[in-house]
Every structure is written in C-alpha cells, then in structure tokens.
Amino acid sequence: MRMTEEQLAAYLERRGVAGEPTVVDVSDPPFAAPPPTAKQALQALGRLPTGTMNKTERSYACRLDQMKHAGKILWFGFEAIKLRLADNTFYTPDFAVMADDGVIELHEVKGFWTDDARVKIKVAADKFPFRFMAMKPRTLKAGGGWEVEEF
C-alpha cells in the first residue's frame, strides 16, 4: 500500500503520533552488532565445519601418511575420537595415531594456542591413558618441520 505524505500525516494524526515520522538508523547503538570478544577476534571468519581439515591439518595429515607408508605408524584418523572431560565439555583431538609399538597417541595441530584449548588438552592428559602431543609448524626460516610438545 502506498501513501502520499499528506495521507501519512493524516494517518499518524489519527493514531495520535505527533510530528514527522522519524527515520531510524540501524547502525546506531541499539541496533549495531556488539564488538567481537577477544576470542572471536582471533578466530577465522568462516569456521570450517566439523570433520573438515584446515591447511595446517592437511599438511600434518600428509606427514602422517608418509610415516604410515614408512612403517613408523600403523594407523591414523582425523577427529576419530571424542573425549568427555566433564558435563557438556568435550575434547576432540585432531588426530588419533597408533604408533608402531601399538600405543595410541592423540595429536593436536595448532598454529597458535588459546587458553581454553591448552587447558582442555592438559585436563584430558591427566584423565585419560593416552599419549597427548601438540604439533606446531615451524617457519621455513627456522628450518621447517614441526615442533612437538608432549603433555
């Protein structure tokens, strides 16, 4: 339905609204999106769905595949295990790896650590009988490869 300005003014007068209609700017504070939290600012804009590897994880999966063909590991799986740490709190390591000696290792691949991720892997390492390891890629300037941290 379209109204002329006169029809709109008459309608507003009948409704008891005085004055001219106001235009609302949706970028003003009550309508603007809240600023991101510190954690959200660190996260990528397009989070990958569960079960999809990022670039660093794909690179590490290639390394694991090479180790499997060399006979150094027997098996590995991406996000194959989910551990319950507490009520509504879970930890899903990036890779579950069976070493050639039969020991199950859980590998976490990180470009950088957030506090909650480090706490979860430490709690999981205290609670479960697996070998927990974190892998961080080294820059080519530093010689390449992976830095390994055991928990």
Residue 2 lies in a domain: no
Residue 100 lies in a domain: yes
The answer to whether the Cα torsion of 101, 60, 46, 39 is positive or negative is positive
Mean pLDDT of 106-120: 92
Residue 27 lies in a domain: no
Residue 20 reports pLDDT greater than 60: no
Instruction: Report percent pLDDT > 90 for the chain.
Output: 58
Residue 114 reports pLDDT greater than 60: yes
Residue 99 lies in a domain: yes
Residue 71 near residue 98 (C-beta atoms within 8 A): no
Q: For the chain, what is the domain count? A: 1
Residue 19 reports pLDDT greater than 70: no
